[in-house]
Amino acid sequence: MRLALAAKPLIVLTQDAHLIAAVRKVTDPVHEVLTAAAEIDLSTALIAHHSGVAVLDCAALSSHAATLAERLHAQFPELVLIAAGNVDEQAQLAARITDGSVYRFLHKPFSEQRVRLFVEAAWRRHAEVLSEPRPSARSHGTRAGRALGWWLALAALALLAALAAPLVWLSRRQPEPAVRNAPPEPAAIPRAPAADAELEQLLARAARALASGALTAPPGENARDLYREALRGNPHEERAANGLAQLLARLLENANGELQAHHLDEAQRLLEQARAISPDQPRIAVLAADLSAQRAREATAKAQEPVAKPPDTRLLDYLNHARDALARGQLIEPPEDNARLYLESAHALAPEDPAVQQGLLELRTRLQAQAHQALEAGNPDQADSWAAAALDAGVDPERVAALHEDAQQLREQAHAAASEHLALSFNERLAQGHITDPDGDSAKFYLGQLMQQDGAGTRTQQARRAYGARVLDEAQDSLRAQDLAGAQRWLGEARTAGADAARIDTLAANLSAAQDAARQADSYVNEHTLTRTRYVAPQFPELARTRGIEGWVDLQFLVGTDGSVSELTVVGAQPAGVFEQAALDALRQWRYQPVTRAGQNVSQHTRVRVRFAVQR
């Protein structure tokens, strides 16, 4: 049953048409509903009308909500304020809700039934305020003067802002880009070496997927999977990390949009995808709390439809349902059958009823207990959710703030433990020589995990330096073993890891010299350019000597780093089949002074022609 007070207006400060329509629908026709789009309009309405109730949409405020509520309460003490907004804005107003400056806080998105409960309760509260002793005329006049002066000052500020607007516009006359929502173009980067071509292609595919809206589907060709693959290949790739950050922002923006459109299942799906990318992102917890509150309010609207029962019978039904829900542990879920829903409905009918007050007290105690249990179980997100429900149920904001603080400390402890575990795994794999392989259990893999979790942390920076030094050591060892391909690969890994630049330059110069030497060694030089240290004359075949046959044999061979001869090959002979074996037998016994390049002994391919002539 609605209260019929003196015909005082209700003022709604908002730009939200849905909120205005809901307030108009639930307000008794005896009370005119006035709207204000900005604070300066609110000042005019408060001065011109003796309003009893005002609804302030935090999204429409230009000043701090808590400061405005405090001033309104001080200068218009008979005015009952209802604030509307999200969980963050409720936290900002916690002190004002506690001291009574704000009578109720209406969570967005809201149900029509919830608006009805709050508006009717506000008019009842206004009636109570009117019945209280009135201040003296003098103090009333002083208060009114203060109120008028404050609002006139606000109007003057608004006028100055309006006059300044053309100047701001003139200073911004540069043309705007044609497309406002396009993702920012990546900063110019140096040309990547050939070894990074695959990574560049992967980043380009990921950027295209992000720009086209392919955030998490189709599998393997969406922005999330492609950026993650890029980070697995190079844990230090900032473009991939930035791409994931943009992707996370898009998911949260889309989830918020679905919440505003009351598509709760789709909002839940998007929040789960965002949580899989960054479980510690604070905005996820906020949106999850908004989602839970919206489900509860929609259930409230459904469960509290008007019924043809006397108020006393309905009150008893609500209390009985509330007791049953408390006994089953259904404090805030499921949305259509929970203790909070029934107790709020009972409170709307009889706010001073002892049984209602006792039920609310038990609900608040149980909600706090659930938050503590979630903390003990190591679930900070669930603890935050219970704490938000406790605040909504009227628990002291300081106690709720302490619960949120404990949840944050639990997150930090879990984060530190995870970082320590990753650092330990990294050190073990590095000591075991599992530097880059296998893909999912190597020092490189665990370093990448550390970079994603806490890129600026002390453990991460220590691991990064250790990894850089180790891959440089591997590059140097490969050079010493003449494994030039391996040295090239390790140097590429060192550059990606951001290892010591001076040492990279030194090893790169040594590698270049070794590669030049190898190219030279691959070409055959004439034997006479080398210094022979041992010579064995070939034996002239007796049959050829008897017959007076002469000829030659062309051979290729390798002079090793110790001067020995190997890899002998006959590449030509005249006449064929006569002198080849004699030439091979002799040449195997030859020795040379090793060829030296860049201060090191190297192998050298050589060619020689061995002649056979009859002595006359």
Q: What share of the chain is helix, strand, coil (3-state, %, to 5)?
A: 60, 10, 30
**What does pTM read for this prediction?**
0.37
CB 479 within 8 A of CB 506: no
Q: Name the band, by pLDDT with cuts 50, 70 and 90, for residue 303.
A: low
Q: What is the pLDDT of residue 311?
A: 54
- Candidates 158, 89, 37; CA nearest to 150 is 158
| % the chain with pLDDT above 90 | 46
Torsions phi, psi for 83 (to 5 deg)? -100, 145
Which amino acid is residue 269, in one-letter code?
Answer: R
**Partners of 360 in the beta sheet?**
none
**Partners of 607 in the beta sheet?**
526, 556
Q: Name the least confident of 139-148, 242-251, 399-408.
A: 139-148
Mean pLDDT of 4-24: 83
Residues with Cβ within 8 Å of 594's Cβ and at least 6 positions away in sequence, in order, are: 559, 560, 561, 562, 563, 601, 602
Q: What is the pLDDT of residue 167?
A: 33
Q: Name the least confident of 183-197, 282-296, 359-373, 498-512.
A: 183-197
Please state, in angstroms and rounded to a whole number, the distance separating the CA atoms of residues 350 and 344. 10
Better pLDDT: 294 or 541: 541
pLDDT digits 0-9 by tens, 353-369: 999 999 999 999 999 99
Q: What is the pLDDT of residue 304?
A: 65
Asked if residue 168 has pLDDT above 70, the reply is: no
Q: What is the pLDDT of residue 72?
A: 85
Residue with tokens 């510690």: 280
CB 570 within 8 A of CB 554: yes
Q: What is the pLDDT of residue 1?
A: 36
Q: Name the band, by pLDDT with cuts 50, 70 and 90, for residue 47.
A: confident
Better pLDDT: 533 or 293: 533
Q: What is the separation, in whole angstroms, between the first and last Cα of the chain?
A: 141
Please state, in angstroms and rounded to a whole number, the distance separating the CA atoms of residues 10 and 35. 8
Show the 3-state SS of 317-363. HHHHHHHHHHHHCCCCCCCCCCHHHHHHHHHHHCCCCHHHHHHHHHH
Q: What is the pLDDT of residue 346?
A: 92
Asked if residue 420 has pLDDT above 70, the reply is: yes
Residue 485, SS3 per DSSP: helix
Residues with Cβ within 8 Å of 196's Cβ and at least 6 positions away in sequence, in order, are: 234, 492, 496
Mean pLDDT of 421-442: 92
Q: Name the least confident of 151-165, 314-328, 408-422, 597-611.
A: 151-165
Please state, in angstroms and rounded to a whole number, the distance separating the CA atoms of residues 426 and 434. 9
Please state, in angstroms and rounded to a whole number, the distance separating the CA atoms of residues 586 and 605. 18
Give the chain's domains with CATH numbers. 10-156 (3.40.50.2300), 230-297+304-412 (no CATH), 425-520 (no CATH), 525-612 (3.30.2420.10)
Please state, in angstroms and rounded to a whole number, the distance separating the CA atoms of residues 340 and 8. 32
Please state, in angstroms and rounded to a whole number, the distance separating the CA atoms of residues 18 and 26. 13
Please state, in angstroms and rounded to a whole number, the distance separating the CA atoms of residues 38 and 163. 17
Please state, in angstroms and rounded to a whole number, the distance separating the CA atoms of residues 587 and 602. 20
Token digits of residue 127 = 């009636």
CB 235 within 8 A of CB 448: yes
Token digits of residue 603 = 């192998």
CB 109 within 8 A of CB 294: yes
Mean pLDDT of 539-551: 93
Q: Name the band, by pLDDT with cuts 50, 70 and 90, for residue 125.
A: confident
Q: What is the pLDDT of residue 579?
A: 96
Q: Name the least confident of 12-16, 108-112, 151-155, 456-460.
A: 151-155
Token digits of residue 522 = 């691959």
Asked if residue 616 has pLDDT above 90, the reply is: no
Q: What is the pLDDT of residue 190?
A: 45
Residue with tokens 């009823």: 353
Asked if residue 166 has pLDDT above 90, the reply is: no
| % the chain with pLDDT above 70 | 86
Please state, in angstroms and rounded to a whole number, the distance separating the CA atoms of residues 610 and 552. 6
User: What b/e readout covers 175-193, taking b as 16+ CB neighbours within 10 angstroms?
Assistant: eeeeeeeeeeeeeeeeeee
Token digits of residue 32 = 């005119």
Token digits of residue 331 = 């404090």
Asked if residue 187 has pLDDT above 50, the reply is: no
Token digits of residue 464 = 């990064």
Q: What angle do CA 508, 509, 511 make, to 5 degrees?
A: 65
pLDDT digits 0-9 by tens, 55-91: 999 998 877 888 888 888 887 888 899 999 887 788 7
